[in-house]
Structure formats: C-alpha cells, structure tokens
Structure 1
Amino acid sequence: MAQDRTGTISLKEKIGYGFGDAASNFYWAIIGSYLVFFYTDIFGISAKSVAIMMVVTKLIDACTDPAIGAIADRTNTRWGKFRPYLLFGALPMAGAAVLTMSTPDLGDTGKLVWAYITYTLMMLTYTILNLPYSSLAGVITANTAERNSLFSIRFFCAYFTSIIVGAATPDLAAYFGQGDDAKGWQMTMMLYACVATILFWITFASTKERVSPPVGQKTNPIDDIKDLLKNRAWVVLFALALIIMVTIVLRGSSAPYYFKYFVERPDLMGSFIGLQMAAYAVGALSYPFLLRRIGDKAKLLTILMATVGVLCIVFAFIPKPTSNGVVTITQDEAITLDAAELLGEAHKDGDSYQWTYNEKVFWIIKNRVAYPETGPTLSLETAKSEAISVIKTSKDANGAVTVIDSASMPIEIYIMFILNILISLALGPKSPLTWSMLADAADYNEWKTGRRATGMTFSAASFSQKMGGMVGSVAIGAVLASIGYTANEAQSDGSQTGIVILQTAAPGVFAFVAIFALRFYNLTGNKIEQIQKELAER
C-alpha cells in the first residue's frame, strides 16, 4: 500500500488529469478575462450593477465550497471519492455556462435577474465539478516529486486552454455572430462547453485514486474546519490564494478595457490575452526546474511575486501610444475614413493609397485584405468588427519611394506586450506551486491529527480563490462606476487613468502583499520529507 501511495505514476495518467483543468479553463478563462466585459458591453448591464452582482453571487458561491468539500470527502463509490463528480457533473456545467452567456431581451431589470440566476447556477455547477477535480490531485499520489510533475502538467494544460480562450474568443464571437455580438458569444460558449465535457470524461477514465483516509476514520465537517484553522501552513495558503487571485483577475478582466479605451486598439485584445496565457503555460512547465534550482517552495514563490510586483509598477509608466493608425468598426454603420488623419500626414499630388482590413485567422496571425476602393478617403456603407488601416506610397522629386503603413505598431505597444509576457512568465509557476503546497498541507493535517480531509482542504482554498476573484471583479466594476465609465463611448482622461491602474499598478500592490503573507509559511522541504516517510510507515 505504501509503495502504491508514493510510487510513480505514468505520463498518460498525468496528461489525463491535466485534461480536466484544460476543460475547467474553457469556463474559468471566460470568467477571468471576459465576463465583466461581456456583461457591460454585450449584455448591456451597468458597471455598478455588475459590481454589486459579483459581490452577492460570489458570496453565495464561495459558501458552497466547504459544503461540497465535506460531501466529496464522505463520498464512497466504486469509482472513488472524487472521480464520479467528473462523470456526472460535466453536462450540467455545460448547460449552465451556455445560459450565462445567453442574452434574452428582458429589459434592464429582467437582464439583471437573468444574470444573477444564471451566473450563480454556473458557479455552483463549477464548484460541484471543479472542487472534486482539484482534490483528486491529492489522492492520485503522495510522492512529492510526482505531485510537482502532476501539477506542472495540469497547469500547462489549463493555460493552454486559456491561450485559446483568451486569444480566439473575440474572433470566434465575431465569426459566429456575423454582426450579432450576443449570438456570437453564446455560440462560442456552446463550442467551449462541448469540448470541455469530453475532456472531463477523459480525466475520469484515465485517473486512479491511491491515497485513502486512515482506516476507520470518523470525522464531521466541523472537526475538519477546526483542524485546518490550526494548520498554520494552510492558513497562509488560504490568504495567498485570495491575494494572488486578485492580482490575476485584475490583470485579466481589465485588459479588454485597457486595449479598447486606453490603447484604442481592441483588435489587439485577443493577442494580448493569448500571449499572456501562453506565458502562463511556459511558466507552469518551468515549475519543477525552478524548484530544483531554488530548493524551497516558499522562497521560490517570494521571488516570483517580487518579480510580478516590480514589473507591474513599471508597466504603469508606459504612456499612451502616440498613434495607433487603426480604426476598429464594431457594428454596421456608414463611415468615411480619411488617410491623412490616420497617417498624420497631409495628402500630396502623386500619393497612392491602399486601404486594408485585418482578417484574423487565429491569435496574432492576420490576413491583410485589400478594399477595392483606393484614394485618400474610404467610404463604407457597412462594416462589421473590422480593424481598418491604410498604406500610403509616395515619391519625392528624385523618384525615391516611401511606404507608410498606418498599422505599424508604436513602440509603446511593443513594450506593453513584452512586460505582459514577463509578468505572466513569473505568475505561471504560481498555480502548480501553491496547489502542491496545499497537497503538502493536507498531508501535514493527516500526519498531525490522524485524520485526512483532502476535499475540505482544497475546498477551503477554492473558497479563498473565489473570494479573491470576487474582490478583483468587484474592484473592476466599482472603479469603472466611480470614474463614470459608459460602455462603448470615448472615456475621459480620469476614466482612462483608472483603467490603467487596474491593469498595472493595482496587481503589483497585491503581489507585494502576497510576499508579506509568505513570511509566515512554515512547511519546509525537510519537514515534508519527514511527514511523507512517517505516513508511508503508518
């Protein structure tokens, strides 16, 4: 039994487990990066109403976590404690997600009621499905090195999905909607839900539970919670989960506003978020290597969060691009564009023009499509979600040819992308690192008390993460409301400043708060080895 508990597990099982978080992030990446934007700019709910809704629904949702954790800990089936939830919870989750991204025409009050009900339902089904999935990692193996590898692969899969969701969602919504944004977002969620359901079933079929509670263990949920509150390492991790989730949600949820209203290049939104998720994935894969180099989990996390904090503060000082040279048409409308305005240069005799729009294939891969009409102006009767630019070719008196493309990327945007990648690389190892530390805390609890409550350990951490997500989402909505944000209109200087702070300095401050909390973490590598050895001997 001891060998089975601490033995190695196959790469196939690790990847199968990782598919479960790939599935989860078809939902979570939407929530973290686009949901507030969806409610304000697609569904038409005010920012203030969204902020209040996030508080109410997140409080309800977070309170379900300990209950589901306690139920999962006491579930006994021929498939184990946690795997059955993957089998039976996938379809209800898919249905709730599609309803959340549906936009019936119910009037202002009706829309808000619909949002409350469907989002609460979505998060309840997410808890029923994802909390047992997270707890499953704690019982697949007790081998510390195998856990580190398992969590690294898990979060690589999670971030890989987030790359797809972050980068492709705006384009998929435009493709499916064909001018109807609401339909486009609903159909995109339907596609994601179908894929996620299949992935959850693969995880169910490819994993095995090996770590069991002590024989004859009898506990009640109150005892489980008391044990956790006496577990210093778990208390620190509870606080860290909340703080770091605020950092992540602030960055993800404010990015659409940042690129739409400050950078004024909404066509780059998917690229920015997609690269962010790609860097998260690379960072997650690097976790075992970094841990071997640093040697201590708390020290590694301190270094990573310090890096995030410094880079976020630097990000805040990037100025607004001097020019962007691209006009994004978000709906059907007649419009006339002037090349001189986009290029910042007056028209001269002999200048020739080629108007183009960027037809995105995937992520940052674009196809520049030429309009048949040329000239210093472009008149369009209809345009749907097109990022339009112009290329000017001119000759001087000596016949030298000069080509200017209004879509050439300003240096400020390059710096934004570079800093975003560096910050995300530093945040990437955070997830496998902290979840591995949670599994250590569950082992410590069993070693100290003789009772194991894996589901409760992870559910309480999930509760903390959701509270962090609530704080982040509420902060977005509250700041937008306080600065007078109005959807789909030009923003004032004060409003733009608030959006910039949400994307940059605010996450940096929370990263530094996380460093302070880490000072109280007390489970070192030697202590973990001792715990695993004694548990195996028992």
Structure 2
Amino acid sequence: MTKAIGDQPSYYHESKLWRIGLFALNNSATNIYLFILGFVAYYAAGIAGLTVVVTSTVITGSRIFDGFTDPIAGFILDKLETRFGKFRPFMVIGNVTLATSILLMYSLTHIVPSSYTLIVFIGCYILYILGYTLQTSVTKAGQTVLTNNPKQRPLFAMFDGIVTALLFGLGQLYVASYLMQKHGDFTIGLFTELNTIAVIVSAIFTILAVIGITPKDKKEYYGLADNTVETRFKDYWPILKSNKGFLMLIISVATDKLAFSILRYQVVVVMLFGIVMGDFAISGVVSAIVTIPNVVITIITVAFATKWGLKKALVMSTWAGLSAAISLVGLFLLIEDPTMLSFENIGIPMILFIVFYTILLGFGGNSSALVNPMIADVSDYETFRTGRYIPGMMGTIFSFIDKLITSLPALIVGITVSLIGFSDEFPTVNDTLTDALFYTTVVLAFVIPMLGFIVTLIAMKFYPLDKKKMEEVQAGILAMKQTNHSPDKEKNVF
C-alpha cells in the first residue's frame, strides 16, 4: 500500500487530485443545508408563528442534541464495514435524511394546527440533525483514507474553501438580489424555491463525493494492518484529555466558528446590510464581489500550507482576519452615516469596507476549510500515540464540542435582539435604524469575531502538530504497520 511517490517518503499514499476535489463536495453538500437553514428563523417566526425566543431556543437546543448524536455516529462509523465500504453508506443515508427533513419542515410546520406547530418543527429539526451528523462525520473521518501526504492534505482545504466561497457568495446574491426582489419578503414561495434548488444540488454533490472516495474506501486504508484494539465509549475522555493537539484544535476552531457563525447568521446579515447600511440587496452584490478574491485567498493559504504546514497557515489566516475585524469596527465607528456605504455613493469608505470585509470573510473563514485536514492530522497522531485507528470517534468528538459551542449563535442573537425590543419578530429590512441596533450589529458582526480570533492565536501556541512533527507521525505509523505492533497493543488502554 505504501510506496515511494516521487521524492516523497514511502510512508505516504496519495489520491488523484480530482478525487480530492470531488470528495470535498461532501462538505459542500452539507454546507448547502447549513446555508438555507440560516433563514429558518424567518420561516419559524414569520410564517409558522413561533416567537423569536422560542425559535432561537429550539435551534440552540437542537444543536446541542446534534452534539450528543456525534459520538454515537462516530462509534458506529469506526466499527462499520460493508460491501460498500465504511464511509459511503453514511454519506448517502445522511443526504437522503437531510432532504426529507427540509421537505417536511417547510411543507408541514405552517399548516398544522397551532397546537402542533412547535412539535412538528422540533421533530423535523431533529431529523435534519440526524442527517447532518451522518454526512458530516464522513467529511472529517474520510480524510484519513484519502491521503496522508502533507503536501496533499491541504488541497482538500483549497477545494472546500473555493466551493464554500462560491456557495455562500452566490447563494447570498441569489437570495438577496433575486428571490427577495421576486417575492418581496421571506415568504413560503421564497423558501420553496430556495429549498428545492438546495436539495437537488446537494444530492448531486453527494453523488460526486461518493465517486471521489470510492477507491480509498477500503479496509487496507483503515489505519494499522493489525487494527484489533477495541473501541469503547469510555475511551472518549482519555482521547480528549491526552491528545493535546486535538484539544487545542477544538478550542481554536470552535471559537472561530462560533464567531463566524454569528457573522454569517442571516439575522445579523439583515441587520448589517438591510438596516445599518440601508439596503439588503448590497449583501448579495458584496458577496458576489468578494467571491473571486476569497477563492484567491484560499489558494494562497493552501499554497502556504503545503510549504509551511497547516498550523502556520491557520495562524497566518487568523492574524489577517483579526486585523480586518478591527479595521471594520473602526470604520463603522468613524463614519457619520453608515448608509453612505453603498454602490450609489462609491468612495473611500465603501472601498475600504469591501477590502476589509473581503479579508475578513476570506482569511477569517479559512479555519473552517483548514480544520478538516487538521482533524486528519490529529487522528493520525492518535494512531501514532496509541495504535488506535478511530477517525470516526476523533471527528465526532470534535463535532460534539464544536456543536455545543456553535449552538450558541441562534440563542445569542435571539436574546440580544429581544433585549433591544425585538421579542416577537426578528429585525427586518423594514425596521428603522436606532443607536441600539447600530451598536448591537457592530458587536455581533465584528467584535465577537475579534474575540474568536484572539482565542485561536492563543490555542495555536500550544498546538504541537507542525509540519516536522507530522513527518515523524507518518513514519511512526508505517513502522507500526511493518512490525504489526502498536504502542498500546499489550495494554489495550490509553
């Protein structure tokens, strides 16, 4: 299985570039649902009749439940072996479940009797979570079989980052500049059109991702040749406690994602562009404008990662994102009238906004793209450390902590806007700008991301898996395979 590849050591195995690109679409397939669910608060509160606090609480509680489903999914994934491989069944079943949940949620919740509205909404949201958990667990765990070459692993981040930039950029343009113009508001017609396209595109992406991973979804790529160590639920805590790289990665990326989830939360986007800047359509145009620069930023970051390692690439991106967030806070506090930031009045302030916002979205969003190959690194490090090949468990421990933290955006935004007078409905493009709305928007959109970036920089100081360490890890795993020996084989404990 392992042979010398060009000038690469014999302990590396690779995938064809196009297969890495196709497998990256598995993450894109779930990100599509993440994008359209960003608008669910407007459906639940504006159409189905649930209050702001109830809607936010359900979304937050569901995300916490989502976290608890992850370890179970990871446990099953690590033990699963079928004629169709370990990973592909999870991908297909997960995507079908996601599609079913969305179709049911938006067709039933607003038409059932009001006494059943909340129950139906919660039930459909839980079904969505189950599908999301199944498919996203493969995005993280499947990295380990795709390639272990440190020059190839960052390429997943490149493909993922490019598609994510296009997805969120063009998706925002489609909603803000087309659907909103066509339907006038967040109506059931808008949601039906948006969700239908999302379900179809996500299914196509999943099929392509299955094609991408097929040659590597085989037992010969599942960790050690003698991978007989039993995995138990009680092993979760020792992994989290003893794998320092894993713990630091969780802290850094989870805080980044919390901040970025708030920035991209559609209520905050409406507040920033539709109320503070006075024209929600600007969000679509800006998203389209920054898409190409963000693709370039992703390519630059991945090129940096292939040369200097994933850790240094994340630190570099975080510094850039932090600088942009600080600059945006300063810009909004210094300008007298934020509505002057428009394409009808293009001047230095608007140009600066586009530049800083591009850097924030591009470099700040790189943590989400880089995390998947970094999870593969910490998973290999666990194999090197203990002899256990448990990518499902590793990936879903990360998801568990990650989702507990990122369950907070809906609750944070919901409680925050209710404190400034929006307890029944979320702020919309028809609301008048007040000082409270202005400062709340600046804090949610830019100050919280600043705090997330700072935590990441601190955590990366203690993250041990630089490029040199990963070379040692891969050489050590090969030696274990060749000697049919793992560090804890005799002890069968961590």
Which TM bucket (shorter chain)?
0.7 to 0.9
TM-score when scaled to structure 1? Answer: 0.78
Cα distance per residue 1:319-361 (max 9 Å; x no partner): 46738599xxxxxxxxxxxxxxxxxxxxxxxxxxxxxxxxxxx
- Choose from 440, 462, 474 the match for 2:377: 440
1:507 maps to which residue?
A: 449
For residues 257-272 of structure 1, the aligned pairs below 5 Å read 257-272=271-286
Residue in structure 2 matching 1:34, options 36, 39, 45 = 39
In structure 1, the partner of 2:86 is 81
Are the equivalent residues in 1 in contact too, given 2:22–2:209 (CA < 8 A)?
yes
Cα–Cα, structure 1 residues 179 and 56, in superposed 2: closer, same or farther, change >3 Å? closer
**1:305-320 equivalence runs, <5 A:** 305-319=318-332
Aligned residues: 458
CA contact (8 A) 1:5 1:141 kept: no
Is 1:148 the equivalent of 2:160? no
Q: Which structure has more helix as a fraction of its residues? A: 2
Shift in Å, 1:448 = 1.1
The aligned counterpart of 2:222 is: 212
Match of 2:204?
198
- Could you list the per-position Cα deviations for residues 172-205 of structure 1 after superposition, in whole angstroms to 9, with x for gaps in the alignment? 5347747772221122111111111122012112
What are the within-5 Å matches in structure 2 for residues 38-437 of structure 1?
A: 38-41=43-46, 43-102=48-107, 104-105=110-111, 110-174=116-180, 177=183, 181-207=187-213, 208-209=216-217, 211-214=221-224, 215=226, 216-253=228-265, 254-275=268-289, 278-292=292-306, 295-319=308-332, 322=337, 324=339, 407-409=344-346, 411-437=348-374
Q: In the alignment, which residue of structure 1 is the partner of 2:7?
A: none
In the alignment, is the contact (CA less than 8 A) between 1:280 and 1:429 conserved in 2?
no
- How big is the shift at 1:68? 0.5
In the alignment, the residues of structure 2 paired with residue 225 and residue 423 of structure 1 have an alpha-carbon distance, to the nearest angstrom, of 35
Structure-2 separation of matches of 1:130 and 1:413? 37
Distance in 1, matches of 2:115 and 2:440, equals: 28
Gaps of 5+ in 1: 327-404
1:456: which partner in 2? 393
Cα drift, residue 419 of structure 1 = 1.3
Paired position in structure 2 for 1:2: 2
Task: Classify the secondary structure of the residue corresponding to 2:421.
Answer: coil
Give 1:75 deviation, angstroms: 0.7
Structure 1 or 2: more strand by fraction: 1
CA RMSD of aligned residues (A): 2.8
Q: Name 1:24's counterpart in structure 2.
A: 30
- What TM-score does the superposition give when structure 2 sets the normalisation length? 0.84
Contact 2:62 2:126 in 1 (8 A): yes
Between the aligned partners of 2:445 and 2:42, the Cα distance in structure 1 is 14
**CA 1:420/1:108 → structure 2, altered by over 3 Å: closer, same or farther?**
farther
C-alpha spacing 1:324/1:59, structure 2 compared with 1 (3 Å): closer
Indicate if the aligned counterparts of 2:257 and 2:368 stay in contact, CA closer than 8 A: no
Offset of 1:125 from its aligned partner? 1.0
2:322–2:364 Cα contact (<8 Å) kept: no
Query: What 5-or-longer segments of structure 2 have no aligned partner?
Result: 4-9, 482-494
User: Aligned AA for 2:77?
Assistant: A
Question: Rg larger in 1 or in 2?
Answer: 1
- Identity across aligned pairs (percent)? 18
More off after superposition, 169-178 vs 127-136: 169-178
Name the SS for the 1:317 alignment partner: helix
Check if 1:497 corresponds to 2:439.
yes
